[in-house]
Structure 1
């Protein structure tokens, strides 16, 4: 009898421990870390990524999200394809470019409807007055194969320049971009805030092409250019619908915060080192460019066609390829946000 009772007791304990272990495993799976690489999270164009974190919106959704910083979007893209991260905060045009290479990734939340980029010209080179003057010059971009590279080459092509007329070199952003221009390694370059304001304020550069607003982007590129987004491999999204929805919830709430608060209020939520010693300049730049962000994360209707037109103009990857734009983005999750 004692033996039977002991066996029953042991079986009950074992069942309890197994149940507890299963519950723990389920809980762990529910809170598995999602790693997102940002193509320079101090850049104002990618502001929603860090802002969502500081506002606590990831945690509110029960997500464990880690943001990693990478200076160039093309390098972040490579990390995604290698399986090192689950998502990228970068330009949507990578989704189109990658499909041409047989890789399927999609934007699940569209942050912006304008690139938020400008072409800066060094004050040492007043002879550069239009993209047609890029001939024989060296133009700075964040990385080769990056969105800034796409746009720079498109502008050169649109201005009538041939392949080889202009050289693009990767100089990153912020301090490395500024140093390259100061040392005349580049005569012009495409960059974002707060780098723009820093160089214009010192008089070391002036704005040649402005794509910080929807209106100026249409003038420069001929249409809306959806830029900053959260993109992920389509296979991952299909297998993790719940996590994708929670990410969309957090980011759409962040976009609504941006659209309902002043630049000064938003700046207070950002890390102080993002100001680069000039908080007023950071706020002014954000106030001027805040209109680039979508209010709801929805892809602008005419945007993907503009992207395809830009890439088809010069990209060897995309030129002549059949691209299914409907597979480069989804509105499923943003439209389900309550």
Structure 2
């Protein structure tokens, strides 16, 4: 009887172990928590991360991603360097700028091949300011000093033949803060993104001056394809978290493919109302016009990094006179392997 009881218990134990193993294969492991800082998650240029979050693509990859939002990419990179966030959704130029300062980060998935930004002039100044050559003596607004909008504005100033000191560039924030600065006369010209841009144009508060929202427009103004929005991570973190990086990139490439395969109307339907800034029809219209800036496979354009570096040197950023190894500023490995 004792042998029979022992056999019965052994059989039950094996059955329970088998059931536990089967359950473990079905249920996902505890999600890895990752914090991403975005330079304004509601901006259309950062649409891929907003969609990946809203559509559950991060959760599908076994990740618990917390998307944090800040007004400026310049502030976001500080969080990455201090370790308070694991990744930044911002512009690719930050990876080059940081290398010039001895900090190594890499873009692991490229969202866009154009800035998705535009320069507008306040309606009251539109007759006097018709191109960057007319910026002399005026106040120019960007999201923040050290930001990508600051870099691009510096480039346009230099291209207009204007020297440092002949203009004032101020960080005025994004969204409503930017619009208020333009309306109140604190700036005469500024660079901003959608949906703020089209709201100002529709209201008659501003006129379009330099358009960088599509690859064709960016190539004309910036001398070539200009990779902008991306996800970048610190190089040491990438080397020790390769599986997590691949899962992040899988989710974001899936989001980019969703953008490529769906209309602006269908995309907008997945977003919260506050992203529309009170005008859904205008949001859809502007997204349809600039959707071509997104890269469906997330792979860095071959000629893009060199053009960004050239723009930065013209703008007299920290990279001037310093050797830059562009191969260490991005990788296509994870995007090419994305499922």
Alignment of 1:244-255 (within 5 A): 244-255=245-256
Q: Which residue of 1 aligns with 2:35?
A: 35
Alignment of 1:176-187 (within 5 A): 176-187=177-188
The offset of 1:312, in angstroms, is 1.1
Indicate if the aligned counterparts of 2:29 and 2:62 stay in contact, CA closer than 8 A.
no
The offset of 1:315, in angstroms, is 2.9
User: Which runs of 4 or more aligned residues in structure 1 lie more than 2 Å from their structure 2 counterparts after TM superposition?
Assistant: 27-32
Q: Which residue of 2 aligns with 1:58?
A: 58
For 1:278 and 1:99, locate their aligned partners in 2 and report how far apart those are by CA, in whole Å. 40
The offset of 1:28, in angstroms, is 11
2:219 matched to 1:218?
Answer: yes
Q: Tell me, what secondary structure is at the counterpart of 1:124?
A: helix
For 2:54 and 2:262, locate their aligned partners in 1 and report how far apart those are by CA, in whole Å. 15
TM-score, length-scaled by structure 2: 0.91
The offset of 1:165, in angstroms, is 1.3
2:114 matched to 1:114?
Answer: yes
Q: Tell me, what secondary structure is at the counterpart of 2:88?
A: strand
Q: Tell me, what secondary structure is at the counterpart of 2:284?
A: helix
The offset of 1:316, in angstroms, is 4.1
For 2:29 and 2:101, locate their aligned partners in 1 and report how far apart those are by CA, in whole Å. 32
The offset of 1:171, in angstroms, is 1.0
Indicate if the aligned counterparts of 2:151 and 2:317 stay in contact, CA closer than 8 A.
no
The count of aligned residue pairs is 314
The offset of 1:147, in angstroms, is 0.2
For 1:35 and 1:332, locate their aligned partners in 2 and report how far apart those are by CA, in whole Å. 22
Q: List gaps (5 residues or longer) in structure 1.
A: 1-19
The offset of 1:163, in angstroms, is 1.1
Indicate if the aligned counterparts of 2:32 and 2:62 stay in contact, CA closer than 8 A.
no
The offset of 1:31, in angstroms, is 2.6
- What is the alpha-carbon root mean square deviation over aligned residues? 1.5
TM-score, length-scaled by structure 1: 0.91
For 1:120 and 1:77, locate their aligned partners in 2 and report how far apart those are by CA, in whole Å. 26
For 2:313 and 2:29, locate their aligned partners in 1 and report how far apart those are by CA, in whole Å. 42
Q: Which residue of 1 aligns with 2:233?
A: 232
The offset of 1:29, in angstroms, is 9.0
Q: Tell me, what secondary structure is at the counterpart of 1:333?
A: helix
Q: Which residue of 2 aligns with 1:83?
A: 83
CA pair 249-316 structure 1, distance change in 2 beyond 3 A = closer
Q: List gaps (5 residues or longer) in structure 2.
A: 1-19
Q: Which residue of 2 aligns with 1:324?
A: 325
2:175 matched to 1:174?
Answer: yes
The offset of 1:141, in angstroms, is 0.2
For 1:140 and 1:334, locate their aligned partners in 2 and report how far apart those are by CA, in whole Å. 35
CA pair 214-316 structure 1, distance change in 2 beyond 3 A = closer
Q: Tell me, what secondary structure is at the counterpart of 2:182?
A: helix
Output one character per residue of 1:201-243: Cα deviation in whole Å (capped at 9) or x when no partner: 0111011000000001010010011000000101101110000
Output one character per residue of 1:14-73: Cα deviation in whole Å (capped at 9) or x when no partner: xxxxxx9xxx9xx99963310000000010000111110111100000001000010000
